[in-house]
Structures are given as C-alpha cells and as structure tokens.
Amino acid sequence: MDKKVLSTVITVAAAVLSAALAGWGGYVFCTQVKIGQNSELYALIPVYCILIVLGAFIDEIIHEGAHFLAGAICSMGVKPPKIRIFKSSSVEMYPKGVKAMRLRFVITAAAGLLFDLLIIALGIIALVVPSVPALLALGLPYAFYSFVINAVPLEYGSGKTDGLVICEALSGSPSSQVMFAVLKIQGKVNSGFLLREIEESWLLDVPQIQEDDINFIILTQLRYEYYLAKGDDSTAYKYFMRYKQLIRYLPSEYSGSYNKRADYDEEEASTAEVNPANLDGAAKENNSEKLSENSDADDAPFEEAAALQGEADIKHGENN
C-alpha cells in the first residue's frame, strides 16, 4: 500500500476510534456526574465537550513533557516543547557528550508513547470501574489518537513519527546512522570542543541516503559549517550551494527560517565572492542554526537542530 494512503487510513481509523471512545466516555460521564438535583443528561453534553478539548490539550502537554523530562534526564539538551493540538508538536535536542547516544535517544523518543499508554490505561479503568471518577477518562480519546498516530512507523508531511524514529534507531538504518553522526558531533561540540577540531571522517564516513531525507539535508548543512570553520572556503561554498538545492525537500515544520536561504538566487550564487564573510552572512540568516557572534568563524561553536524523528527534533504525525 502506498505510504501516503496508509498514513491517511491510519489517521482516519485513529480518529474514528477516538470518537467512539469519546462517545463512550461521554455516556459514562453524563450518567455519573450530577449538577444539581434535577440535572438532565443533555445539559452535561456541552460541559463534557469542553472538558474533552481541555483533556486533549493536557494530554499533549504530558506527551511532550515526557519527551522533555526523559531528554533532560538523559542529557539530551532538550528545549521547552512546542505544543500544537492536532498538528506536529516537537521537542528540540542539543545533546551533550557522545556516550550511549543511541540509548539516550531512544529513551527520549519513547517517553511520549509510554505516557500516552498510561493515560489510556487510566482512562479505560475510569470507564469500566464505577468507583473511579469518570473525569479521569477525559484524556483517553486524544491519548489514544496520539498514541496510534505516533506509534505507527510512518512519515507524514511534517516529519517522521516517534515509532519510525525508534525503529530506525534500533535497526541501525542508513538514515539513523547519519542522524547519529550529526548528534554525536553536536554532543562533542556542546561538551567544549570546537567544530573545526572534529575529525573529518565523522562527517564523511556515513552511508549514502536519499537527498530528500531530512538527515541528509542537516548533514549537508553541517558540512558547510564545518568547512567554513576550517577555513576551506571553496568546499564550504560547495556544500552551501548543495544545501540551497535541498531546501525544497524540508518538511513543513522547517519551512520558516530554513527557507530564508531561498532568497539567495542563482545569479547571486554564481557571482558571489567565495570567502568566510559571505558564507558566514548566509549562515546567520538561518535561525535554526546558530554560530557564535564572534567574527572569527573558526572559533564559532556549532549548535544545530538535527533531524529524530530521524530528527533530533522529536516530531509527530501531521495530524497530531
């Protein structure tokens, strides 16, 4: 089955089953909760609908918060999550150190799914056990939807799901090998090393992957930064121009600051003087990649949002 068709089927199935769970939970809630002595069931339906929306928001916070907490414990340098209901939420990583990178990454990626399962289990208990308040099931519908969308190993327009990222990381796929190469370089630099001090083989001795893979795009950008820091202007320029060609493949969630480089048109590119100042100026247009404000590019620390999923941003399906 075509991947796009499969992702649509999974999304629709998850939405339908979540709606069924919401209906079940609504019946239990409206028959269990009383507001006043003569409250009618229909009068509680609007209240339940509002609470369901609130439950979805809370579940999304818990899901992303789990990624954030696990990442913090595992020294993955996570930043506060970006919360979007029914859209792609994410947690950015800037890891420190290179030891046990795969294990630390998988734990961080799996944490959101684990907490979704806990909310699902609690919700089902609340619906089947009369003594447990039905309010505890308010997060069940969205938690189920979130778990299905993120657990199935698929790639949406906004990026790879947690499940796909975990599968690739555990299987050692070529894409994940490139991702871990980027993450290890990040970890090395964030531990105090200069980018120019990294062994060149870390950037070059990696498997070949498709050019539209987000990890290849990030690796190309990193190679540009590396050779810029090394003072190899011509090689840096080559990777800059290659990166410019790859921008069109970036997922929708990266379409903001990354695509600013598209303003650098072909004529300007062909006539531009190749020197560190020009390249550094182009780099600083990208808000997702930070160079030191120090004018000496050789001493600029590298900080890049690598792509779990596999991106170093843990992203979810486009409908989550």
Nearest to 56 by CA among 159, 149, 131, 128: 149
Q: What is the pLDDT of residue 179?
A: 92
Distance CA 41, CA 25 (A): 13
Q: State the helix-helix crossing angle for 41-73 and 3-32, rounded to 10 degrees.
A: 130
Rounded CA separation 305/177 (Å)? 16
Strand stretches in 78-152, DSSP E? 90-91
**Token reading at 61:** 């916070």
DSSP assignment letter at 300 = P
* Angstrom distance (rounded) from CA 15 to CA 274: 52
Task: Look at residue 40 in the predicted model and tell me its pLDDT.
Answer: 58
Report whether 298 contacts 221 (CB < 8 A): no
- Collapsing DSSP states into helix, strand and coil, what is residue 185? helix
**Residues with Cβ < 8 Å from 139, sequence gap 6 or more?**
55, 56, 58, 59, 62, 119, 122, 123
Q: Is the pTM of this model over 0.85?
A: no
Query: How does pLDDT run along the chain (320 residues), one tens digit per residue?
Result: 677 888 889 999 999 999 999 999 988 888 876 655 555 566 678 888 899 999 998 998 999 899 999 999 999 988 877 776 656 667 788 888 889 999 999 999 999 999 999 999 999 999 999 889 888 999 999 999 999 999 999 888 777 889 999 999 999 999 999 999 999 999 999 988 999 999 999 999 999 999 988 899 999 999 999 999 999 999 999 999 999 999 888 766 555 444 444 444 444 333 333 333 333 333 333 333 333 333 333 333 333 333 333 334 444 433 34
Buried b (16+ CB within 10 A) or exposed e, 148-168: bbbbbebbbebbbbbbbbbeb
pLDDT given at position 320: 41
pLDDT at residue 277, rounded to an integer:
35
What pLDDT is stored for residue 39 in this prediction? 52
pLDDT of 30 reads: 81
Residues forming a β-bridge with 159? 156
Under 8 Å between Cβ of 89 and 311: no
CA 280 centroid distance within chain: 27
SS (H, E, C) 47-97: HHHHHHHHHHHHHHHHHHHHHHHHHHHCCCCCCCCECCCCCCCEECCCCCC
